Amino acid sequence: MPVTRRHALQALAALSVTPLPFARPAFAQGEFPDRPLKLILPYAPGGGTDALARVLAGEMQKHLGQPVVVDNRPGAGGNIATEVVAREKPDGYTILMGNQGPMAVNPTLFGRNMPVDPERTLEPVGLVADAALVVVVGPGTPAKSLAELIAEGKKERGKLSYGSAGNGSASHLAAALFCQMAGIEAEHLPFRGAAPALNDVVAGHIPFMITTLPSVVGLLQGTQVRALAVTGEHRAAVLPDLPTVAETLPGYRASAWYGLLVPKGTPEAIRARLLAAMQASLRSPEMQQRLRDEGADPGTMDGPAFGRFIRAERERWAPVIRAANITVD
Q: Kindly report, residue by residue over 247-291, the tens digit of the pLDDT.
A: 999 999 999 899 999 999 999 999 999 999 999 999 999 898 888
Long-range contacts of residues 236-244, Cβ cutoff 8 Å, at least 24 apart: 236/132, 236/134, 236/295, 237/292, 237/295, 238/213, 238/292, 238/295, 239/134, 239/213, 239/295, 242/134, 243/146, 244/132
Phi, psi of 117, rounded to the nearest 5 degrees: -90, 115
Does 12 score more than 70 pLDDT?
A: no
Specify the DSSP element, H or E, that contains 110.
Answer: helix 106-110
Phi/psi for 287 (5° steps) reads: -70, -40
Q: Domains in the chain, start-ordered, CATH in brackets?
A: 37-130+256-323 (3.40.190.150), 132-247 (3.40.190.10)
Q: What is the pLDDT of residues 297-315, one digit of tens each?
A: 899 999 999 999 999 999 9
Model confidence over 135-174: pLDDT tens digits?
999 888 888 999 999 999 888 777 889 998 888 888 899 9
Give the pLDDT of residue 31.
86
Percent of the chain whose pLDDT exceeds 70: 89
Q: How large a percentage of the chain has pLDDT more than 90?
A: 53
Distance between CA atoms of residues 273 and 125, nearest Å: 10
Does residue 4 have a pLDDT over 60?
Answer: no
Better pLDDT: 131 or 17? 131
pLDDT recorded at residue 319: 93
Looking at per-residue pLDDT, the higher value among 194 and 207 belongs to 207
Output 224 or 175, whichever has higher pLDDT. Answer: 175
Q: How many helices (H) and strands (E) does the chain have?
A: 13, 10
